[in-house]
Structure 1
Amino acid sequence: MGKRKLKTSKSMAAPRKLLKLDTLFTCPFRGYPDAVGCHIDLKDRIAKASESYFTSAHVLTAAVDVYCEWIDACKLANEGVIDRRCRPRLVEA
């Protein structure tokens, strides 16, 4: 009598598909979806969000990082702005 062959499972898992992160984001000023594009140029090490914000980039930089840095820079710029809302008028009696 011969031995039974063991069923060895060759558990070579299929490689997982990497999810691609977004490169288009919602505009924080107007609220338009997919209005802000983030582009990274690794050759020149420059990352760009919208048309006015530029920052340095490296291999691990993602579009989400550039967008978050731009939002943080906008918040810092707005901290020094005086609140210019309409103030109620004083009623003279």
Structure 2
Amino acid sequence: MGKRKKSSRKPAGPRRKDPLETNFTCLFCHHDKSVSVRIDRKEGVAQLFCKICDQRYQSKANHLTEPIDIYSEWIDAADAAEREASSTRRPVASSSRPARAPSVASDED
């Protein structure tokens, strides 16, 4: 058996952590990076707000909560509110008469 070749890999060291986003796109006004998230870990509260349209959302936070978590919760809460609003709306009144079939002109004369 021969000697092992030296690996060209770099030695394992501390990995560089890329910071997570803290500014996001607003669901309501669609402006990029207009939504900011602030987390107060002592109080256990996270606040999200849009600088453009002033939409706000507040949620509980713990020591593991990140801004992307609050943004995801906001999206879920907005979807749930939209589904609830659409299910509680009264259906539009419709006529009891069936719709008339469109008339088709024939080429026969």
For the criterion TM > 0.5, the same-fold answer is: yes
The alignment status of 1:81 with 2:85, answered yes or no, reads: yes
Instruction: Report SS of the residue matched to 1:40.
Output: strand
Instruction: Report SS of the residue matched to 1:38.
Output: strand
The alignment status of 1:37 with 2:41, answered yes or no, reads: no
Q: How many Å apart are 1:73 and its aligned residue?
A: 0.5
Give the number of the structure whose alpha-carbon radius of gyration is greater.
2
Instruction: Report SS of the residue matched to 1:18.
Output: coil
Distance 2:79 2:67 in 1: 19
> 1:28-75: CA deviations, max 9, x gaps?
112100011011110111011115211110111000000000111111
Q: How many Å apart are 1:12 and its aligned residue?
A: 5.5
Percent identity among equivalent residues?
36
Distance 1:80 1:44 in 2: 30
Stretches of structure 2 lacking an aligned partner (at least 5 in a row): 1-9, 50-54, 90-109
Paired residues, what number? 73
The two structures have a TM-score, normalised by structure 2, of: 0.61
Distance 1:38 1:26 in 2: 12
Question: In the alignment, which of 54, 61, 74 is matched to residue 58 of structure 2?
Answer: 54
The two structures have a TM-score, normalised by structure 1, of: 0.70
Distance 1:32 1:44 in 2: 29
Q: How many Å apart are 1:25 and its aligned residue?
A: 0.1
